[in-house]
Amino acid sequence: MVNEDQVALARSLAAAWDGALVVLDPERRLVAASAAAAARLPGLASGERVGEEALVAQPDILVCFLGSPPALSAYEELRAGFTAAVSHELRTPLARLLALLETATLPGEDVGALVAQAREEVRQAGDLIDDVLFLGELETGREVVSLGRTPVQPVVEEVLAALRERADHAQVTLETRLDDGAELPLRQRMLRVVLENLVANAIRYAGPGSTCRIEVTRSADGVTLAVSDDGKGVSAVDLPRLFERFYRGDQARTSRGTGLGLAIVKHVVTAAGGAVEATSEPGRGLTISARFPPSASKVPA
């Protein structure tokens, strides 16, 4: 049974939760939902049963149970949904690879160019597999996110050096505005993962002639890492779903990304005690900000 104190605590937690969170009782009836979760499950009222299919369709929502959880079937359903999504995403590069190999057997074709394209498809599939495995490590706790503190500037310089050629090819200018001495409560590898995904996202989608800026600022509220661009921006429809696994907006559907980069960013940041949000207007660029409160981001004065 769920008592009133548990319900009050659950509702207080949900009200303060930045991400998408639902709290269910042992019968899968809704006890509380954060604002982000309520927006994704419109029309769902307190006390109403939440079907497994609704949560399978929204894998980014964190689900907590009061009292004893129901049978493991819900978890298995979610895992099945994620597996199906991964399988679907892998089919695309594999289908293109098969088409390239078949074309290479035709007379008069440029085999060298086709082989180069085939290598890119293999790399794309490999990137997807790596991201899926890494996200799995994060979610099972085998990859410690917050272990010590990492100065930001050296990692920013390392990431920009690695992505400079890609940015030049995309005609995107890279700039930094860093608070000297700032540190974040992330392992060096985790900070690199966050930066690589955010900068690569800007390079991929901002458009030729745009500028990507990496900023780190300190204030009484903590430390903020922001990666922004002045490119195409994101529509109001797509914006709330940027951090969902495999979600791609209309302009991103032809991209070569894995569709997991921003989901990984959100998982790393929230696991370290921070919060991440995206702001944009079509035609006026996109800003993704990761904010770490003072308790999580103590820095030198």
Strand 173-178 to strand 211-219: parallel, antiparallel, or no bridges (unpaired)?
Answer: parallel
Burial class (CB in 10 A: 0-12, 13-18, 19+), 219: exposed
- Does residue 224 register a pLDDT over 90? yes
Per-state percent for the chain, helix, strand, coil, to nearest 5: 45, 20, 35
Per-residue pLDDT tens over the stretch 84-139: 555 555 666 677 777 888 888 888 888 888 888 788 777 767 766 665 666 665 65
User: Looking at per-residue confidence, does 12 or 141 come out higher?
Assistant: 12
Q: What is the mean pLDDT of residues 13-18?
A: 81
275: its two tokens: 């919060």
pTM: 0.55
* Beta strand spans in 86-172 (E): 150-151
Q: What is the mean pLDDT of residues 28-45?
A: 85
- Does residue 253 register a pLDDT over 50? no
| Residue 282's pLDDT band (cuts 50, 70, 90) | confident
Q: What is the mean pLDDT of residues 273-281?
A: 88
Q: What is the DSSP letter of 49?
A: B
Name the phi and psi angles at 285, rounded to 5: 85, 180
- Does residue 229 register a pLDDT over 70? yes
Of 279, 285, 181, 280, residue with least CA distance to 232: 285
The DSSP element (H or E) to which 135 belongs, if any, is helix 111-139
pLDDT of residue 89: 56
Tokens 């272990």 belong to 147
Check if the beta carbon of residue 274 is closer than 8 Å to that of residue 186. no
Cα–Cα distances (Å) from 245 to 82, 125, 257, 258, 267, in that order, read 9, 16, 12, 9, 11
Interior CA angle at 289 toward 283 and 293, to 5°?
160
Q: What is the mean pLDDT of the chain?
A: 77
Q: What is the DSSP letter of 46?
A: T
Interior CA angle at 297 toward 292 and 300, to 5°?
140
The DSSP element (H or E) to which 292 belongs, if any, is strand 286-292
pLDDT of residue 167: 94
Cα–Cα distances (Å) from 33 to 17, 53, 95, 122, 138, in that order, read 9, 17, 40, 41, 24
- Does residue 210 register a pLDDT over 90? yes
Burial per residue of 263-277, b for 16 or more beta-carbon CB atoms within 10 angstroms, e otherwise? bbbbbbbbbbbbbbb
- Does residue 254 register a pLDDT over 50? no
pLDDT of residue 154: 92
Q: DSSP secondary structure string, 204-252?
A: HHS-TT-EEEEEEEEETTEEEEEEEE-SS---TTTGGGTTSTT---GGG
The rounded distance, in Å, linking the Cα atoms of 54 and 171 is: 41
| Residue 77's pLDDT band (cuts 50, 70, 90) | very low
pLDDT of residue 250: 46
Tokens 């302009």 belong to 251
Q: What is the mean pLDDT of residues 61-90?
A: 58
Q: What is the mean pLDDT of residues 239-246?
A: 77
The DSSP element (H or E) to which 97 belongs, if any, is helix 73-104
Per-residue pLDDT tens over the stretch 161-195: 989 999 999 999 999 998 878 888 887 878 888 89
Interior CA angle at 216 toward 174 and 191, to 5°?
85
Of 240, 221, 247, 225, residue with least CA distance to 35: 240
